[in-house]
Amino acid sequence: MKLVLLRIQAVFIKELIQLRRDKMTFGMVIMIPLVQLILFGYAINTNVRHIPVGVVDISQTAISRVLVQTISATQVVKFTHQYFSIEAAQAAIDKSEVRAVLIIPNDVDQRIVTHPSAGFGLPPASDEESSRPIAQWLVDGSDTMIAGAIKSLRYMPLAELFKKPANRYTPTFEVTLLYNPEQRSAVNIVPGLVGIILTMTMIMFTAGAIVREKERGNLEMLIATPVRSIELMLGKIIPYIFIGLLQVFIILGIGYTVFGVPINGGLGQLAGVTLLFISASLTLGLVISTIASTQLQSTQMTIFVLLPSILLSGFMFPYEGMPVAAQNIAEVLPATHFMRLIRGVVLRDVDSIEMAFDVYWLILFTIAGLTIASLRFRKNLE
Amino acid sequence: MSAAFTGNFAIRTRRLCRRFGELIAINNLDLDVEKGSIYGFLGPNGCGKTTAIRMLTGLLKPSSGDVEVLGLNLPKDAGKLRLKMGYMTQKFSLYDDLTVKENLHFVANIYGLSGRPMKKRIEELLSIYGLNQKVVQLAGSMSGGQRQRLALAAATLHKPELLFLDEPTSAVDPENRREFWEQLFDLCDRGTSILVSTHYMDEAERCHKLAILEDGYKRADGTPDELMESMDAHVVEVEANNLRQLKQSLMVLPEVITAAQLGARLRVLISKKVIDPLIYLKQQNCIQPQNTILIVRPSLEDVFVTCTGTSRQ
Ligand SMILES: Nc1ncnc2c1ncn2[C@@H]1O[C@H](COP(=O)(O)OP(=O)(O)OP(=O)(O)O)[C@@H](O)[C@H]1O
Ligand SMILES: [Mg+2]
């Protein structure tokens, strides 16, 4: 037993020294979370605003100009261009000069007066005349996010047009936002980013671990010694556990100070679920490492795992909205389970016991990964 | 076969074969390496030296045949053998980005050595192999000779009974080569059995016994003296003026195995089918009466040329 620990420690120290001398990798440990966090934290914003749009004002009346101003005031769109024909407007959308165009018809003043949103009381539903919309949006629907934002303008009240207080509708449902009441995307993205960055760095570092020894010719010496596969595997992943924790500290620290993402859960819980996920990712990297025969191959395989982890884990799109097939793939990925756990712990202060399924899954994944990697790593040169 | 084995052999193989697809890298190799001796593999590039060593160290599975090393059956007992053997690979296989000391520490820990005994052993090795001044130098930045001494230090750190050295001196100058061999003899005196591969004749000549390998076949084996004695050719040196032309004319004779120029002389190997090479040569038209002809003692190179000639003809 003492010998086993000594050999694990030997590999561990060796990895640590090599890591320290490898300035590039060491820099990446710090830079990847920093840069990604700044990028994602500021750039990803699900509240779309100031979409550049144009207007074709056929009526050319005072009321149409007020209409344009009222819409501008919502800040959803920003009128940047004016066109004089519908054809010109369509060409502008094709060129991506604007993402949508508002077409104001000739009889806009008439339409407004009879329109319910103007607040002159509800017209009878059968009234053909008054149920006509007052103007039309032509939207570049290829970006669903932008199209959705403009669609949200469909039922915009227009009472302000006549300087009258708007009708107060009684909503059908009352919605109470338990967490993230201001609906800031950073609150959801920062904890998710922990999962993505760990997937990226942890798998990448270990995926190259055995391959590097193979490529540099160290493997022949190593397998001629009494070191066992499992000792080699453990010694190689332990240093990266510390690195993973350091990265989590950087991400959540900046998330807290710069983006004001609260950490509601206990630090013990946080460390626990993170360690589980780090271990799962590291063993996945080791498995890749025993399959690949060059560093290029191991990088390719890392990306093969990374892409679904970003797209399917619930980081980008809600898990619930995905088709069943995609959900099944997502269930296999450690990132999906971690995404639930860390959001639960950081944002909702959930005890990880309550999410036992995800916890067990990560544990199982780690054990399976370590076993497969140790079995696959044959101590000969076949 | 193991029942027939006595304790005197470090390595024994019978009908050992290794195929890589179509290629037969080692063909029916029979080896008997006595304990406490230095045994050499002599052969050109690609003859199968590394492949043979890898099978003897348990790193590569034989396609067929029996291997017994230090009384252990391979590849079954490869794990047990690892504690008793040291292996210095052909390509430097310690870590370039670790210092001399860090490399030795790593190897020591792997072999279960730590603390005071480890320090003592490493100190000892550093002074034996003259690496005292280099402790904190990165292995990757050392010269070929220094690296090779470090590799030997690492391979002998756990005092193995049997040491495999695959072309240990290929990146080493003659001066360092001599010193290196002194160290091998020191190890041998202390009871270590050594198997060393080389393509240098002078190194092969230092071995107690050697095997000449070619294209995966063992062409000959024995002590250097035995090999030279039992050689299947006479060695004759001819002094003449027009050596290039003389060589051409001699080479076409079926009894002449080969002829090579050595300065002002031509060294000619003549098949043992010829009873008296002097009379035979004087009968040839190309030899002038005034040319001096001498029978000389064969060298290992002559042995090598004679027994590996088949593929060239
Ligand atoms: N893993 C392998 N796969 C396929 N062929 C191989 C493999 N290893 C060795 N060989 C082939 O086996 C033959 C013997 O190779 P080996 O490396 O044993 O030669 P060597 O005597 O060590 O040569 P050198 O002096 O160049 O080191 C060569 O033809 C080589 O191409
Ligand atoms: Mg070789």
Count up the domains in chain A and report the number: 2
Do A244 and A155 lie in one domain? The reply is: no
Kindly state whether residue A328 falls inside one of the protein's structural domains: yes
With respect to residue A31, please indicate whether it lies within any of the assigned structural domains: no
Spell out which residues line ligand 1, taking CB within 6 angstroms: B 20, 23, 25, 43, 45-51, 90, 199
Interface of B with A (CB under 8 A): 54, 57-61, 75, 78-79, 82-83, 85, 87, 89, 91-98, 102, 105-107, 109-112, 114, 154
Question: Both tokens of residue B206?
Answer: 């230092």
Does CATH number 3.30.70.920 belong to domain B232-297? yes
Closest approach of B28 to chain A, Cα-based (Å): 20
Same domain, A325 and A217: yes
Residue that is last in its domain, among A137, A152, A178 = A178
**Given a cut of 80, is residue B260 above it in pLDDT?**
yes
The verdict on A94 and A204 lying in the same domain is no
Structural domain contains residue A264: yes
CA nearest neighbour of B296 among B281, B283, B273, B278 = B278
In chain B, where the domains are located: 9-227, 232-297
* Residue B18: pLDDT over 80: yes
Instruction: State whether A275 and A206 are in the same domain.
Output: yes
Q: Tell me the pLDDT band of B312, cut-offs 50, 70 and 90.
A: very low
CATH of the domain at A153: 3.40.1710
pLDDT of residue A185: 65
pLDDT value at residue B29? 92
> Which residue's CA is minimally distant from atom 17 of ligand 1?
B50
Query: pLDDT digits over A17-59, tens only?
Result: 998 888 888 888 888 888 888 887 776 666 677 888 999 988 8
Residue B250: per-residue pLDDT: 82
Minimum mean pLDDT among A123-132, B49-58, B70-79, B174-183: which range? A123-132
Which structure tokens are listed for A190?
């920062």
Stretch among A175-184, A325-334, B41-50, B230-239 having the lowest mean pLDDT: A175-184
Q: Whose CA is nearest to atom 26 of ligand 1?
A: B45
- Region B218-239: what's the mean pLDDT? 87
pLDDT at B208: 93
CB A89 within 8 A of CB A54: yes
The CA distance from A279 to A286, in Å, is 11
Contact B110 A22 (CB under 8 A): no
Which fold, B9-227? Rossmann fold (3.40.50)
What percent of chain B clears pLDDT 90, i.e. is strictly above it?
50
- How far is the CA of A86 from the CAs of A71, A79, A94, A104, A269, in angstroms? 20, 16, 12, 10, 59
Weakest-pLDDT range from A147-156, A290-299, B69-78, B174-183 = A147-156
- What's the pTM? 0.80
Is a pLDDT exceeding 70 seen at residue B179? yes
- Average of pLDDT values for B99-113? 94
Residue B95 has its nearest CB partner, among A3, A18, A379, at: A18
Average pLDDT over residues B98-107: 95
Q: What single-letter DSSP state applies at residue B31?
A: E
pLDDT at B313: 42
Contact A301, A291 (CB under 8 A): yes
- The reply to whether residue B93 touches residue A218, judged by beta carbons under 8 angstroms, is yes
Q: Tell me if chain B has a CB within 8 Å of the CB of A184.
A: no
**Looking at beta carbons, which residues of chain B come within 8 Å of A379?**
78-79
Residue type at position A273: V
Residue A343 has pLDDT above 80, yes or no: yes
Closest ligand by atom to B214 CA = 1
- Inside any domain, residue A41: no
Q: Is residue A24 part of a domain?
A: no
Same domain, A242 and A280: yes
Query: Which segments of A217-333 does DSSP mark as H helices, in order?
Result: 218-223, 229-257, 267-291, 295-312, 324-332
- My answer on whether A317 and A352 are in the same domain is yes
Find out whether B137 and B177 touch, Cβ atoms under 8 Å. no
Residue of A313 and A113 predicted with greater confidence: A313
Task: Indicate if A271 and A296 belong to the same structural domain.
Answer: yes
Say which residue the tokens 């350091």 belong to: A246
CA A83/CA A103 separation, integer angstroms: 9
* pLDDT for the residue numbered B16: 93
Which chain B residue is nearest to residue A3, measuring alpha carbons?
B112
Taken in order B48, B54, B59, B65, the sign of the CA dihedral is positive
pLDDT above 70 covers what percent of chain B?
Answer: 96
Q: How far is B186 from chain A (nearest CA, A)?
A: 23
Residue A165 confidence (pLDDT) above 70: no
Higher model confidence: residue B6 or residue A155?
A155
The residue in chain A having the minimum alpha-carbon distance to the alpha carbon of residue B99 is A17
* More confidently predicted of A221 and B279: A221
CB contact under 8 A, B111 and A226: yes
How many inter-chain contacts (A to B, CB under 8 Å) are there? Answer: 79
Position A25 in a domain: no
pLDDT at B311 over 50: no
Residue A313 clears pLDDT 80, i.e. is over it: yes
Which atom from ligand 1 is nearest to the alpha carbon of B43? 21
Distance CA A348, CA A359 (A): 17
Q: Is A379 on the interface with B (CB under 8 A)?
A: yes
Same-domain pairing of A134 and A194: no
Q: Counting ligands in written order, which one lies closest to the CA of residue B29? A: 1
Arithmetic mean of pLDDT, B213-237: 87
Question: Across all residues in chain B, what is the average pLDDT?
Answer: 88
Q: Are residues A125 and A260 in the same domain?
A: no
Tell me how far apart the alpha carbons of residues B149 and B55 are, in angstroms, rounded to a whole number: 24
Q: Is the pLDDT of residue A122 over 70?
A: no
pLDDT, one tens digit per residue, over B195-206 is 999 988 888 989
pLDDT band at A380 (very low <50, low <70, confident <90, very high): low
For position B4, what pLDDT does the model report? 46
pLDDT at A201: 87
Chain A partners of B74 at a C-beta cutoff of 8 Å?
A: none
- The complex scores an ipTM of 0.84
Ligand 2 centroid from CA A203, angstroms: 35
Domain boundary among the residues A116, A149, A178 is at: A178
Residue B156 CA to ligand 2 centre (angstroms) = 20
Mean pLDDT computed over A296-317: 87
pLDDT at A164 over 70: no
Residue B187 has pLDDT above 90, yes or no: yes
Residues A111 and A203 grouped into a single domain: no
Domain endpoint, select from A178, A212, A237: A178
Query: Do residue A310 and residue A263 come from a single domain?
Result: yes
Domain that holds residue A66: 51-178
- pLDDT of A230 over the 70 cut: yes
> Residue A119: pLDDT band by 50, 70, 90 thresholds?
low
Distance B48 CA to ligand 1 centre (A): 6
Residue A6 inside a domain? The answer is: no
* pLDDT for A129 beyond 60: no
Q: For residue B31, list its beta bridge partners.
A: B13
What is the average pLDDT score of chain A? 82
Other CB atoms within 10 Å distance of the CB of residue A69: 12
Q: What is the pLDDT of residue B261?
A: 85
Mean pLDDT of B99-111: 95
pLDDT at B3: 42
- Half-sphere exposure of B288 toward its Cβ, with a 13 Å CA cutoff? 10
Where is average pLDDT lowest: A180-194, B70-84, B147-161?
A: A180-194
Helices (H) and strands (E) in chain B, counts: 11, 14
The Cβ of residue A94 has, within 10 Å, a number of other Cβ atoms equal to 9
Q: Is residue A14 within 8 angstroms of chain B, CB to CB?
A: yes
A324 in the same domain as A280:
yes
